[in-house]
Structure 1
Amino acid sequence: MRRPSWVPIVVVTGVHLVALIAGAATAAAWSQVPLMPALALVLLALPRDDRGPAWPWALGALAASWVGDSLPRVVPEDAEFLSMVGGFAVAQVLWIVAFTRVERGRAPMAWTLLLVVVTVALLAVTVPEAGAFAPAVLVYGMLLLAVAWLAADHGWVGGLGGALFVLSDGLIALGAFRPDLVDWPQRDLLVMATYVAAQALFVAVILLTRSPERTPLPERPDRPLRGSGTIR
């Protein structure tokens, strides 16, 4: 996992969260910008032979997330929301591709049903209040569900990452369209903590998942069972 490559994202995340806790709005806003580049260093630190088929798609997803983090700070106020959603929608598509480029298991049915219920509930609460943004919110909700479901196909690391991503984006949607439901202190702190944790877990999935085309799992050799032949 090359632990030193995780140091930049840990440091930048710490600075950002402390700024949020301290109420330093300017520091919090601009310390959000380097979050995804710092996380991208984890992928860039991998030797070329270890990167696998999902690597470029995951890197692209982090780049698109960086656009979603950064673009709203330089566009007119009335374009901030769409620029954020647009960047993250592209990131969702790229994560979907990344998670289908490596060997997958199958998410538990109960987990899949829970994701569907939570997503439908979020859409039911936010879409009617979204006005002209309703189509964008609906499409984004479907992409979010797909990402969380495919991530959960890669074990508990992906499942937890998907759950945190749904929580983070759900809080953002509620804050935008139903602020009365999430009107409590430090909501932004929870949004950003779960957002970074989700992206980091997605990167961990890419690092931990073998490519069946490139590095097949070795067969376990026959070994003697004491007193009774062999087993596999």
Structure 2
Amino acid sequence: MRLLSWIPVVIVTLANLIGLAIDAPAVADWSQVLLMPALTVVLLAMPREERGPAWPWALGALAGSWVGDSLPKIMPEDAKFLAMVSGFAVAQVLWIVAFTRVPRGRPPVPWTLLLVVIAIALLAVTVPHAGVLAPAVVVYGLLLLAVAYLAASHGVVGAMGGAFFVLSDGLIALGAFRPEMVDWPERDLVVMATYVAAQALFVAVILLTRPGRTSRASRTEQPA
């Protein structure tokens, strides 16, 4: 049943990516609204007693991301970007809390340095063009860096999720403030593919690092 709970995620993601690929805005828009609810099903498919202490924060992060996906679709054109960023900023904070509620290690130093370099580069090329939104861009960039760092502290799955999240949000920021740098037809397709991958991997981190989870190897090593 836990594996079957991922089927809606796969279906909705394919609908969204196909909608973008064939330039069907209605399909792409409405399937995007369903992405985070589909991931919520995966999170809630785990019995409550096995979810660990981080699941409410992860659930809140998915809700914040859903607001970021959905609210811009009903907002005036000049408020769409701010509505999207506001929802995702809340989601970033909640992912930070979620990743600190379960046992974690420390990301490799090269990974940390790479994150810092990428964050500085993104801020350097976007902040000067952000106008009155410059302070918000800086705060959001720091939140994004914190999420990627803490996700990577949970191993390869978290590190991949953090990398995809940085790539997705980085492309969004460049598209908003430096569109000439990402002026290629498949940009939206890459943004959504990496965004869904990041969120799915973050959910996987929560499910894989719940307290009391014991590996098959450790069980077989226990005395009879």
* Band the TM-score falls in, shorter-chain normalisation: over 0.9
Q: State the 1:113 CA deviation.
A: 0.4
Deviations 1:90-128 (A, max 9, x none): 000000000000000110000000000001100000000
Deviations 1:23-73 (A, max 9, x none): 112221222101100111001111111111000000100000000000001
Pick which of 10-19 and 21-30 moved more.
21-30
Deviations 1:151-206 (A, max 9, x none): 00000000000000000000000000000100011100000000000000000000
Give the TM-score, by structure 1 length.
0.91
Structure 1: how far apart are the matches of 2:112 and 2:60?
26
Q: Does residue 74 of structure 2 align to residue 100 of structure 1?
A: no
1:56-205 equivalences in 2 (<5 Å): 56-205=56-205
Return the structure number with greater helix share: 2
Structure 1: how far apart are the matches of 2:138 and 2:188?
23
Structure 2: how far apart are the matches of 1:44 and 1:210?
14
- Would the aligned equivalents of 2:92 and 2:144 in 1 still touch at CA under 8 Å? yes
Task: Structure 1: give runs of 5+ residues left out of the alignment.
Answer: 224-232
Task: Structure 2: give runs of 5+ residues left out of the alignment.
Answer: none
Corresponding residue for 2:23?
A: 23
Corresponding residue for 1:207?
A: 207
- Would the aligned equivalents of 1:68 and 1:88 in 2 still touch at CA under 8 Å? yes
Number of aligned positions between the proteins:
221
Structure 2: how far apart are the matches of 1:25 and 1:129?
28
Structure 1: how far apart are the matches of 2:194 and 2:187?
11
Change (3 A) 1:18 1:86: same
Rg comparison, structure with higher value? 1
Q: State the 1:76 CA deviation.
A: 1.5
Give the TM-score, by structure 2 length.
0.95
- Would the aligned equivalents of 1:210 and 1:216 in 2 still touch at CA under 8 Å? no
Corresponding residue for 1:227?
A: none
- Would the aligned equivalents of 1:8 and 1:38 in 2 still touch at CA under 8 Å? yes
Which runs of at least 4 in structure 1 moved beyond 2 Å after TM superposition? 214-223
